[in-house]
Amino acid sequence: MDKKIAVISCSNACLDYIDHDHDIKIFRSTLHLGDEDYLDFIDISADEFYKRLEEDKSVFPSSSYFPLGQMIEMYENLVKDGYTHCIVISISQHMSGIYNSSMMAAKEVPGLEVYVFDSKTVTYPQALMALKAAEMIKDKKEIPEILEELEYIRDNNKIYFAVKELTYLIKNGRLSNASGFIANTLKIKPVLHISKEGKVESFDKIRTFKKAVNKLIDLYVTETKGLNALPFIIHANNPETRDYIEEKIKELNPDIKEVPSVPLTAVVGAHGGPGTIGLGYYIKR
């Protein structure tokens, strides 16, 4: 019997904000704002979410990932549609329970061979992995070859973030080494990074947001020198800073004509907070 392979990612990958023509299924997380719940992107867009936060400072957001029962149902629907195999590309298991739940749900559905791949990251690089998997399936590549390519992308990308305030990351428990920062939350604008293990960690202490943004650019320039790197920007309703970073990168490397950017989707922005900006790169083969 011929293989029919599905690709699933989660809404943390920001695929909703990237133009593509692949049939990638999405485990959608839920955003909680006060007593109201919103399905990510379906009920609330990134822009709408950040406007809500700016308008009502008393509301503190949180999120919950796609329920186990709905994961099982999605797998079962794939079987009904004739799929025999599925590759799930999840947000880092250090940031969410999606990875473990995807594995648990897979055990409940006979007739579908599921490969759950820990991206060890979030947003744009995670989206790159899902898009690459879908492209390779279209090209009739075998699953081991696809997983090998996903490992390459996972091992050859980096993201640095500047946040305007640490409150969101600390309250939602997403900053792995927060203890040294809590006392100085209002005084510093740290540069954060996603570690090789897939954890959000502090990287450097910076006194102003503008200096933190310039640090992102310095890190990108230093680490990609002489390499075939694709830069990308992730932002939480911060178009001015996004444009500033893009202009700087183009000035430093005139060969770069465009820098892809995606908004930080609401369920990720609930942890980073408004104004968060990320600059990352992927080292192409």
pLDDT digits (tens, 9 = 90+) for 76-120: 999 999 999 999 999 999 999 999 999 999 999 999 999 999 999
Residue 34 CB neighbour total at 10 angstroms: 11
Q: Report the top-level CATH class of 5-29+65-155.
A: alpha beta
Which of 277, 262, 280 is CA-nearest to residue 224? 280
pLDDT at 119: 98
pLDDT at 178: 54
| High-pLDDT (> 70) share of the chain, % | 93
13-56 tens-digit pLDDT: 999 999 999 999 999 999 999 899 999 999 999 999 999 988 88
pLDDT at 172: 60
Regarding predicted confidence, which is higher, 138 or 189? Answer: 138
User: Residue 67, Cα to own-chain centre: how many angstroms?
Assistant: 19
Say which DSSP state 177 is in: T
Task: Calculate the dihedral angle through the C-alpha atoms of 175, 181, 183, 189, rounding to the nearest 10 degrees.
Answer: -100
Mean pLDDT, the chain, as a whole number? 92
**Residue 1 reports pLDDT greater than 70:** no
Q: What is the CA radius of gyration of the chain?
A: 19
pLDDT at 140: 96
C-alpha to C-alpha distances, 265 to 58, 194, 214, nearest whole angstrom? 20, 17, 23
Burial of residue 167, with CB atoms counted within 10 A of its CB: 0-12 exposed, 13-18 middle, 19 or more buried = middle
Both tokens of 231, joined, read 């830069």
> Alpha-carbon distance 17 to 249, whole Å?
22
Q: Is the dihedral of CA 191, 195, 198, 199 positive or negative?
A: negative
pLDDT at 198: 96
Which helix (H) or strand (E) segment holds residue 182: the answer is: helix 179-182
49 three-state secondary structure: helix
Confidence of residue 183 (pLDDT cuts 50, 70, 90): very low
Mean pLDDT is highest, among 131-135, 159-163, 185-189, for 131-135
> Alpha-carbon distance 270 to 122, whole Å?
14
Both tokens of 76, joined, read 């079962």
Q: What fold characterizes domain 157-283?
A: Hypothetical Protein Tm841; Chain: A;domain 3 (3.30.1180)
* Contact status, residue 150 vs residue 133, Cβ threshold 8 Å: yes
pTM for the model: 0.93
210-248 burial, b at 16+ Cβ within 10 Å, e below that, comes to eebbbbbbebbeeebeeeebbbbbbbbbbeebbebbbeb
Burial of residue 94, with CB atoms counted within 10 A of its CB: 0-12 exposed, 13-18 middle, 19 or more buried = middle
> What does the domain layout of the chain look like in residue ranges?
5-29+65-155, 157-283
User: Region 134-145: what's the mean pLDDT?
Assistant: 97
Which helix (H) or strand (E) segment holds residue 23: the answer is: none
Q: What share of the chain is helix, strand, coil (3-state, %, to 5)?
A: 40, 25, 35
Amino acid at 161: F
> Alpha-carbon distance 105 to 108, whole Å?
5
